[in-house]
Amino acid sequence: MERTIGGTDRPQAGGGRAPAHPETRIPESCPVVRMVTVRLNRRSLRGWHIRLLDQLGQRPDRRIRIAWTEDAGSLPPNAELLFRLEAAIHGLPRPGLATAAEPVALASYEAGPGAADGEIVLDLSEAPADPARAATWRLDFDGVPGEAGLLAALFGKRAPVAALRGPDGAPVAVGRLGAESHTVMLAAFEDYLARTITLIVAALDGARATRLPDGTEAPLQPGSPFDLGGLGVGRRAAEGLARQVARRLYALCFHRPQWRVGWRRLAGPDLIDLRRHPEGGWIDLPDDGRRFYADPFAIARDGDVTLFVEEFDYRRGKGVISAVRFAADGPQGRPEPVLELETHLSYPFVFEADGQVWMIPESHASGTIDLYRATAFPRGWVHERVLVDGVVASDATLLHHGGRWWLFATVRAGGGSYSDTLHLWHALDFRGPWIPHRRNPVLIDVGSARAAGAIVERDGALIRPVQDCRGGYGAALGLARILRLDEGGYAQQVETRLEPGAAWPGSRLHMLSAAGGFEFIDGSRPARPRLLG
């Protein structure tokens, strides 16, 4: 579980079983685009354009060239001041994806007019379309061309939908973008830009989804009105966005939620069957104010139920994995540390296989996904092997299905959010070797990519708990039905969204786990003073 810089977004109303949506279309294999002309605005070039071109050029069989425009950028002039101030206050690295760049950085790319057979024009310029170029993909965010759409989404507290559209306005590729912080605008803005690069590269490599997993279309059309305090597209909209940036410059602040774990005995349907909070509510796993507990994973073994959690001690400033045994009347004592490393640990995915107990804790700072084995359960964890190397992965979750093992994890590649890009691997044995799914990333959606617990089989269907981070990290819990899982593709459909409320007060509902007649969730409660002594 990541700690974010911010987290003040309010949950949206709703919940319960969602209406049925059309199945997310899994497109047939699209050809790789070999010739790309990238149309850029010379006056609003940024670091993310440089990184995009670097990634596009990594294919030796692809030719990249640039066409320049000279139009004014869509961001208000004071946005750059906001970014510089936030970078200084929060110690964010610069230069970054949002930093202004000079055209000389792209001197190695061929620039020139004219078209070539099989060429795609990737238009990122915000200028009027070039009628001489028919095969053009234009980028918009929530239907608004240019980076102003991203900033508008941040002020509107919504997860933006990025869309590449063809000449007829129909989506070529879409993705709902995520950000780890919704209160530090620069951090969120760069998260969105990083995932936009992922979307564009995947689309040009032939991996394209034209609608979101919940069945909705990419919103609006380029140039359609959008809401900035009641203002429409044009000068008044730009002025409204500039005013919001100005207010933000005077109101820089952040808030960290206080996390907790809730539990209950199962005397009837569980949350997956109920699709709502239980009538009796939840009992908090107590803490002493010097630490919090999160990421509950329960396992039943030899007649006992053991709950594993992330324990975050404020004095140490990092997470460790702790465990506590549950009896009929609840926890027997307090969670005690069972695994601690130099790096922060969370999401202790615990499972039993081959007569032993195994754990895959999240430690994204190591750049690996690691497997541990218990030698004196629930203690005595020893490192067994690296499952996947060279990856910044969150919340790795295993599933045995169809005669093979599947590994789910959200991957942060080239910056961006930890929560919006789902990758899969498959293997004949849970120890590996693990083979990346050929369609990775199989999903870009901050509303349903990141895992929220173990996948459960129910009435012949696979139900995947997911984090809905559109309102911030861990804002709501989704239940997604897996529609397709094979070497050729992946699809899921979110059926239910559960939020905090009277039965679970606070602003976050983050994870779900059950075992041995107990059910567990976690989330946040109103802030309280921290005891550090």
Model pLDDT, residue 529: 46
Residue type, 161: V
DSSP 329: T
Model pLDDT, residue 116: 60
E runs forming strands in 168-265: 171-176, 258-265
Cβ–Cβ < 8 Å for 463, 456:
yes
- Token readout for 177 is 């973008």
- Tens digits of per-residue pLDDT, 183-210? 788 889 999 999 999 999 999 998 878 8
> CA angle, corner 432, sides to 423 and 300, nearest 5?
85
Burial of 203 (0-12, 13-18, 19+ CB in 10 A): buried
Residue type, 320: V
pTM: 0.71
Cβ–Cβ < 8 Å for 143, 134:
no
Burial of 354 (0-12, 13-18, 19+ CB in 10 A): exposed
- Give the residues of the chain that fall short of pLDDT 50: 2-28, 221-233, 252-256, 529-533
Model pLDDT, residue 323: 98
Q: 284: part of which helix (H) or strand (E)? A: strand 283-284
Model pLDDT, residue 51: 93
Model pLDDT, residue 90: 66
Q: Which domains does the chain have, with CATH numbers?
A: 35-249 (3.40.50), 258-266+274-525 (2.115.10.20)
Residue-wise over 181-190: b if at least 16 C-beta within 10 A, else e? bbbbbbbbbb
Model pLDDT, residue 48: 93
- Spacing of C-alpha 303 from chain mean position: 36
Give the separation between CA 333 and CA 290, rounded to whole angstroms: 16
- Tens digits of per-residue pLDDT, 303-317? 899 999 999 887 777
Percentage helix, strand, coil, to 5, in the chain? 15, 40, 45
